[in-house]
């Protein structure tokens, strides 16, 4: 991941083209043609990158320092005002930060633990195991949909099956979604329920662990727990790392479930006001796009910090077998 | 007789018991996992007055299709079929564009050498981590200025750039193909595009299918973009329509909502059942090489 200057890249182009120093025109033309072909292939991506990623991002960086409002079409340079307001004058903003951290810091580790436990459970060649894997993965393909969020809301509603089930044991039903202490847990549960992708990734990793390692450890008298801690976990750390980064990004940006379950408002008492939901409200309900853009950049910065933190820490806990990390 | 004999052997007996415990446990947990989906499916066939009165039961006392009839009638004079057509346009068109662009780009990055390649590749990988929230505000302003609100352009046009996740996944597959095949084709006079089209594409079909399935899911389930860009109910996709339909402050007919929720989940499940092998392998491969 070192910085690679374009000159360096072009030098590596010229060499395989068979051009010696003092190359002929033909060699240069060939290099040029090579570049042209390359760029033609990535043109769609380049277009998308500039039109819908790079330029919009620069735009939103600029917007973050304005009070742009779609309705009034006013635009005024306000310097750091948006950020000041966020930090000091917007208690709802802080509630959304708190809700998002509570959500991500609980949901992501839980999801990964679940994914790993079930991957271990399915790492065998028993009958039907393939079908089980598919069945346990099924919630993950629909979990992010509005339909499931609507169902989730009703599952935890007043007359819901959950309450009816608890009533059988004499436990009084609760308004899970009306109570700020429990509302966020329903969204966490929905997120953990979608553990399928990390589970499959862990499963693929488990299959790569050579069986002789376990046999050798067993002969040396290591019990199941010790083998898990000393062999399985270390060899899976690259995948734990990968899943952690991905799921953390998802965790910080969850939108649909919180929107639907809280009726778009973050209720009750802003306990479901996840960051992206508040950002949506500011940008597309109040049309304070300058403020929303500033919020988006803070989100990006936080995600970048967390990713950097995980990357930096990875040298201490991610174990790579020598020679397996040859990326390109 | 033989089975009985085997059972008496302690080791095998333990195996059988373990097997029973294993399958029993996995099935019980699986039942809990799938309960919400089973519940909405069964509820959609229950008469309206029974949905919440015997909420837990997964066996309806009587079965009715009335919920589907009422739900399909939609709201505001717009039938639900309109929303399904809109969703199919978005998910179908979006998927085709995404996969085509991703495949071209993946080939460019995996097989060709050109100036600036590494820089672009790194930028591409970095976009993997970008939250959609950062792009969506300026994109909205751009499309609003172009007068494209309440059209499908803001939904489909950004797909022309492919998606980093799929590009990366297809690249992993392409790297697994021996370069000798490309060289042989080149010697036979095949152009670069010819190599891509005739040699590489057929060999990476599994990756393309995986990308297509994922792209279909993401798009079919996408809520934020249709919510922002489509205000005209006739253009609503299924997700936005369901949200309006199931607005807790106005809703009375839960049966119809569960019926339409069930229908909204069906395309995803159909794709899943037919292509799950591709999907599961796709996740494993792209994940492993990540």
B70-289, what's its fold?
Answer: MetI-like fold (1.10.3720)
Separation of alpha carbons A76 and A67, rounded Å:
6
Q: Which two tokens stand for residue B178?
A: 């021996």
Burial class (CB within 10 angstroms; exposed 0-12, middle 13-18, buried 19+) of B89: middle
Q: Is residue A237 one of the residues assigned to a domain?
A: yes
Domain ranges, residue A287: 81-317
d(CA A86, CA A299): 12
Claim to verify: residue A57 and residue A199 sit in the same structural domain? no
Interface contact A204, partner B, CB < 8 A:
yes
Q: pLDDT by residue for chain B (290 residues), tens digit each?
A: 444 444 444 455 568 888 999 999 999 999 999 999 999 999 899 888 787 777 777 888 888 899 999 889 888 889 999 999 999 999 999 999 999 999 999 999 999 999 999 999 999 988 888 888 888 998 998 899 899 999 999 999 999 999 998 998 899 889 888 888 888 998 988 888 999 999 899 999 888 998 999 899 999 999 999 999 999 999 999 999 999 888 877 777 888 999 999 999 999 999 888 887 777 766 666 554 33
Cβ contacts of B283 on chain A, cutoff 8 Å:
197, 200-201, 204
Query: Where does CATH 1.10.3720.10 sit in chain B?
Result: 70-289
Domain count, chain A: 2
Same domain flag for A18 and A111: no
Interatomic CA distance for residues A188 and A186, integer angstroms: 5
> Which residues of B are less than 8 Å from A283 in CB distance?
136-137, 140
If asked whether residues A40 and A187 sit together in one domain, one would say no
**CATH number, domain at A136?**
1.10.3720.10
Q: Please count the residue pairs, one from chain A and one from chain B, whose beta carbons lie less than 8 angstroms apart.
A: 292
Both A129 and A218 in one domain: the answer is yes
Q: What confidence tens digit (pLDDT) does each residue in B112-121 have?
A: 999 999 999 9
Q: Are residues A26 and A97 in the same domain?
A: no
Shared domain check, A190 and A119: yes
Which residue in the set B142, B243, B283 is minimally distant from A200, CB to CB? B283
Q: Does B186 touch chain A (CB under 8 A)?
A: no
| pLDDT score recorded for residue A191 | 95
Instruction: Report the distance separating Cα B146 and Cα B157, nearest Å.
Output: 13
Q: For residues A270-297, give the mean pLDDT.
A: 93
CA distances from A315 to A113, A320, B125 (A): 21, 9, 21
Q: Which of residues 87-116 of A touch B (CB under 8 A)?
A: none
């Amino acid at each position: 991941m070192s910085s690679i200057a374009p000159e360096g890249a072009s030098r590596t182009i010229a060499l395989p083209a068979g051009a010696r120093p003092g190359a002929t025109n033909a060699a240069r033309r060939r290099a040029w043609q090579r570049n042209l072909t390359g760029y033609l292939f990535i043109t769609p991506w380049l277009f998308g990158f500039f039109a819908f990623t790079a330029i919009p991002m620069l735009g939103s960086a600029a917007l973050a320092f304005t009070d742009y409002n779609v309705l009034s079409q006013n635009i005024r340079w306000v310097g750091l005002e948006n950020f000041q307001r966020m930090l000091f004058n917007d208690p709802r903003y802080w509630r959304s930060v708190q809700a998002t951290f509570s959500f991500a810091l609980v949901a992501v580790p839980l999801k990964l633990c679940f994914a790993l436990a079930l991957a271990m459970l399915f790492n065998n060649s028993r009958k039907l195991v393939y079908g089980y894997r598919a069945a346990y993965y099924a919630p993950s393909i629909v979990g992010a949909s509005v339909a499931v969020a609507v169902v989730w809301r009703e599952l935890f509603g007043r007359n819901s099956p959950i309450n009816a089930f608890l009533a059988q044991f004499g436990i009084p039903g609760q308004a899970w979604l009306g109570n700020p202490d429990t509302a966020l847990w329903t969204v966490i549960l929905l997120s953990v329920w979608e553990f399928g992708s990390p589970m499959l990734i862990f499963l693929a990793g488990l299959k790569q662990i050579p069986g002789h390692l376990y046999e050798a450890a067993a002969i040396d008298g290591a019990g199941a727990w010790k083998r898990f801690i000393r062999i399985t976990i270390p060899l899976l750390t690259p995948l734990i790392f990968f899943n952690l980064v991905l799921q953390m990004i998802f965790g910080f940006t969850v939108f649909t479930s919180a929107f639907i379950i809280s009726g778009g408002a973050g209720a009750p008492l802003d306990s479901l006001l996840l960051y992206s939901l508040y950002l949506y409200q500011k940008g597309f309900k109040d049309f304070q796009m300058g403020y929303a853009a500033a919020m988006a950049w803070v989100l990006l910065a936080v995600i970048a910090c967390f990713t950097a933190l995980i990357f930096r820490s990875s040298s201490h806990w991610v174990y790579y077998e020598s020679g397996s990390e040859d990326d390109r | 007789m033989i089975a009985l004999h085997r059972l008496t052997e302690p080791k095998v007996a333990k195996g059988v018991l373990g097997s029973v415990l294993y399958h029993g446990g996995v099935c019980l947990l699986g039942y809990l996992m799938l309960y919400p989906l089973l519940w909405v499916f069964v509820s959609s066939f229950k008469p309206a007055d029974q949905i919440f009165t015997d909420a837990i039961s997964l066996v309806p006392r009587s079965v009715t299709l009335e919920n589907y009839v009422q739900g399909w009638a939609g709201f505001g004079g717009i039938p639900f079929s309109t929303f399904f057509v809109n969703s199919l346009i978005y998910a179908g068109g979006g998927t085709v564009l995404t996969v085509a662009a991703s495949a071209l780009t993946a080939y460019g990055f995996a097989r060709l050498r050109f100036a600036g390649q590494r820089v672009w590749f790194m930028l591409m990988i970095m976009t993997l981590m970008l939250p959609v929230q950062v792009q969506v505000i300026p994109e909205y302003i751009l499309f609003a200025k172009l007068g494209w609100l309440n059209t499908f352009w803001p939904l489909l046009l950004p797909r022309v750039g492919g998606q980093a996740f799929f590009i990366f996944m297809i690249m992993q597959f392409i790297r697994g193909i021996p370069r000798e095949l490309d060289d042989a084709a080149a010697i036979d006079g095949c152009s670069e595009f010819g190599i891509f089209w005739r040699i590489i594409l057929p060999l990476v079909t599994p990756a393309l299918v995986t990308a297509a399935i994922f792209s279909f899911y993401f798009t079919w389930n996408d809520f934020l973009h249709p919510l922002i860009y489509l205000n005209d109910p006739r253009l609503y996709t299924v997700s936005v329509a369901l949200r309006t339909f199931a607005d807790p402050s106005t809703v009375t007919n839960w049966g119809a909502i569960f019926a339409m929720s069930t229908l909204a989940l069906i395309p995803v499940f159909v794709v899943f059942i037919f292509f799950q092998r591709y999907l599961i392998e796709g996740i494993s491969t792209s994940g492993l090489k990540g």
